Amino acid sequence: MDTLTDPRTSYLSDFERTAKALPGFPELRRKAIEKFAERGFPSPREENWRFTDVAPLAEIPFKPAVGTANPNQFAGLANGPLKACQITFVDGRFAPSFSSLDLPAGVGVTSIGEILKTAPGVLAPLVQVAEDPFAALNTAFFRDGAAIRIADGVQVERPIHILCLSSLHGEPYVMHPRTVISLGEGSRATVVKSFLGPSGGTYFLNAVTTVLLDAGASLDLTKVQRESQQAYHFEHLDVRGARNSSFTHHSISLGARIARTDLQVKLEGEGADCSLFGLYEVAGAQHVDHHTLIDHAQPNCTSRELYKGVLDGRSRAVFDGRIIVRPGAQKTSAMQTNKNLLLSTEALVHTKPQLEIFANDVKCKHGATIGQLDEGVLFYLRSRGIGLAEARRLLIHAFASEIVDSIKTDAVRSQVGGCLALIAGGA
Amino acid sequence: MLEIRNLHATAGDKPVLKGLSLTVKAGEVCAIMGPNGSGKSTLAHVLSGRDGFKVTDGSVLYKGKDLLAMAPEDRAREGVFLAFQYPVEIPGVGNTYFLKNALNAIRKHRGQAELDAHEFLKLIKEKAKLVQISENLLSRPVNEGFSGGEKKRNEVLQMAVLEPALAILDETDSGLDIDALRTVSDGVNSLRSKDRAMIVITHYQRLLSYIIPDRVHVLLGGKIVQSGGKELALELEQKGYAGFEAA
């Protein structure tokens, strides 16, 4: 290894320097950093990383986040419409003063930092060394994040909000938040994860999220990513659904220089169901990548997936959706669609739907489209007095509304709608 | 109201209008009749400012202003309206929302206060009655899944709401059965006024039994070859366009 130029070096030396201070799981962390050392950052020669070059990220010497000197700058942002039940993190650390954890019975929302101090053993079944180098880095370094536990049979009406704020620093910094959400038998919850950073902030947010759904549990999870345009946002999201569980995910990706979400859902019990929705709107030099994998491991499971993208400027988007139907997973129903709208001739999208079917009695469908705003429709709107910019805005909104409208909870839908309106206003 | 002088225009690279001149006065309903390929739709598109058509010579004055220099939205805001031969479907954009945006853009241009959702809803319901369009079409996306007749009625509804000074109806009769033709014509007739000019573009005389024109112009080979009163339409019906080609 050439220690001067190898991007691994700074992470390895940071680990050696801070390992003693990292709370809990010393052996696991050691194994994880060794995995990362051996594996290194992915290269575009790897199939899974063909269209997302992480070299710009690897070249920046990010330092572990130390927290902001002035958390009060975030007071306004922490006061959003979902503040009623909210756990807030500033630069990756739990911020109790911006959190409101007045919770109904059977609902536990805690910071991972607290758990690591008091009872790290609880997390043991949830943290492993992953093959993915980003997930391995997170395992080596994680020290905080949100832990949500819903007891058997508890139905939580109010959305639980995980708010991750990243401050503006002189030096590029890195955070490795870890989120764990587990729902007991027959329980139901709505969770929103918001990622927010001021423009100009150069940071690397490397998240790992684990979701465990017991039999009959139902989780509606929405991610709203509005990082700084200079930020790097990576998330590895693993979901396991037991019998008759139901998982709905919305990935709203608007910010970051490079944003990548790896979402893996394993339908492990009969009758499990998942719905994955995504909406990415990028411009300038932004790059957004969604890799999804739905693993139909048992019979009678259903999945549907709809990702839509709007690309302007020189932006790039990648959609890679894989669906595996295991042998014996009969009566599987799986639908997958990816639709893209290109607003500029320099924007580019790579879309790759993949079905791998090893059972014979299944209903599976996939498709992808890439198009532009329809000139005929634009003219129609203008011929009625609507200006060109407004006509474009109307049509982009119409394209995106299918995803926004599929968000069931009013408060979440209006929050997402508000974010999109902000983007449209700025463009 | 409208003064077209020696208009030459191409559709793509093909010359279509070859020296068309036409004057339309306020309050006048004039019919432009012509066979396929005579330049009827090109004229409608050039007047509304659609891309893909190029004016190579001539001029169009609308209320004394150079119409051709205006962007499509500015023409609409100044009171020009085109009822499309093929209205487009706009999934995801509600009919009422669209029309409210359009009307408010025009009102803003005229220096009038914009209507709020409540005021607009009242207005559109009133106008929907006028053109006999069912209210459930108002809440649906623009033209999506509408029948041919519903689309044309929706065009007339838009005209009723936007109250243009100059309305151009491009083959509004095409694809309509006799009942739909009557309702659409009734809607159009109810909008006739002394301040409003209408250009009714059609292939057939049929429409002109319902919308009685003040003037009839025959368009052939990109030019107006004959003009007359409403009886000219009947003459055309009997003789066919061939008779005029010979002339």
The size of the A-B interface in CB pairs under 8 A is: 73
Confidence of residue A426 (pLDDT cuts 50, 70, 90): low
Specify the pLDDT at position A427: 42
CB contact under 8 A, A380 and B88: yes
pLDDT of A72 higher than 80: no
Q: Using alpha carbons only, give the angle A339, A344, A347 rounded to the nearest 5 degrees.
A: 65
Q: Considering Cα of A53, then A56, then A59, then A60, what sign does the dihedral take? A: negative
Q: Note whether residue A342 is domain-resident.
A: no
Task: Return the residue matching tokens 């924007």.
Answer: A347
According to the model, what pLDDT value does residue A96 have? 92
Neighbours of A383 (CB within 10 A): 24
**Which chain A residue has its CA at the smallest distance from B85's CA?**
A380
The lowest-confidence range among A296-300, A330-334, B240-244 is B240-244
For residue A4, the model assigns a pLDDT of 55
B77: chain A residues, CB-CB within 8 Å:
385
- Closest-CA residue in chain A for B98? A381
- Which residues of chain B are within 8 Å of residue A391 when distances are taken between CB atoms? 73
Q: Quick one: pLDDT at residue A76?
A: 79
Average pLDDT, chain B: 92
- Rounded to the nearest 10°, the torsion over CA A7, A13, A19, A22 is -50
Predicted confidence at residue A423, as pLDDT, reads 74
Q: Which helix (H) or strand (E) is B97 found in, with range?
A: helix B95-109
Contact A391, A266 (CB under 8 A): no
Residues A262 and A380 in one domain: no
A106 shares a domain with A231: yes
Task: Report the residue from B72, B92, B98 with minimal CB separation from A382.
Answer: B72
User: Quick check: A383 and B71 CB within 8 A?
Assistant: no
Q: For chain A, how many structural domains are there in total?
A: 2
* Residue among A374, A386, A401 minimizing CB distance to B105: A386
Query: What pLDDT does residue A188 have?
Result: 98
- Measured between beta carbons, which residues in chain B are less than 8 angstroms from residue A381? 90, 98, 102
User: Which of B74, B84, B93, B161 is the best substitution to test chain A (most A C-beta atoms within 10 A)?
Assistant: B93
What's the pLDDT at B246? 45
Q: Write the pLDDT tens digit of every residue in B93-111.
A: 999 999 999 999 999 999 9
Task: Give the structural domain span for B55.
Answer: 2-246
Round to whole Å and give the CA distance between B226 and B244: 8
Nearest Cβ partner for B91 among A376, A382, A398: A398
> Closest-CA residue in chain B for A392?
B93
Tell me, yes or no, whether A54 and A180 share the same domain: yes
Q: Select from B91, B102, B141 the Cβ nearest to the Cβ of A384.
A: B102
Length of chain B: 247
Percent of chain B with pLDDT over 70: 99
Considering A223, A249, A269, which residue would you say is the last residue of a domain? A269
Amino acid A126 reads L
In this predicted model, what pLDDT tens digit does every residue of A163-188 receive, in sequence order? 999 988 778 999 999 999 999 999 99
Domain membership of residue A424 (yes or no) is: yes
Q: Tell me, what CATH number does B81's domain have? A: 3.40.50.300
The string of pLDDT tens digits covering residues A37-54 is 999 999 999 999 999 999
Query: A309 near A317, Cβ under 8 Å?
Result: yes
Residue A342 has a CB neighbour count (10 Å cut-off) of 19
Indicate if the alpha-carbon torsion angle B8, B11, B13, B16 is positive or negative: negative
B63-96 burial: b if 16+ Cβ within 10 Å, else e = eeeebbebebbbbbbbbbbbbbbebbbbebbbbb
Domain boundary among A269, A299, A322: A269
**CA angle (A401 as vertex; A396, A404 as ends), nearest 5:** 130
Q: Is the pLDDT of residue A136 over 70?
A: yes
Q: Is A370 a domain residue? A: no
Chain A environment of B93 (Cβ under 8 Å): 394-395, 398
ipTM: 0.95
Chain A environment of B101 (Cβ under 8 Å): 386, 390, 394
Q: What is the pLDDT of residues A241-288, one digit of tens each?
A: 999 999 999 999 999 999 999 999 999 999 999 999 999 999 999 999
- On whether both A386 and A258 belong to a single domain, the answer is no
Among A234, A269, A304, residue at a domain's last position: A269
Domain count, chain B: 1
Residue of A nearest to B46 (CA): A383
The pLDDT-based confidence of A425 (bands split at 50, 70, 90) is: low
Does residue A381 belong to any structural domain of this protein? Answer: yes
Residue A83 is part of which domain span? 8-269
Task: Give the tens place of pLDDT for each residue, B33-43.
Answer: 998 889 999 99
Q: Which residues of B touch A395 (CB under 8 A)?
A: 90, 92-93
pLDDT at residue A237 is higher than 50: yes
Would the CB atoms of A384 and B49 count as touching at under 8 Å?
no
Could you tell me if residue A302 is inside a domain?
A: no
Q: Which residues pair with A223 in a beta bridge?
A: A193, A251
In a domain, A363, yes or no: no
Decide: A165 and A74 in contact? Cβ < 8 Å.
Answer: yes
Mean pLDDT of B43-72: 95
Per-residue pLDDT of A328-357, as tens digits, reads 999 999 999 999 999 999 999 999 999 999
Which two structure tokens, joined as six digits, stand for A85?
């039940």
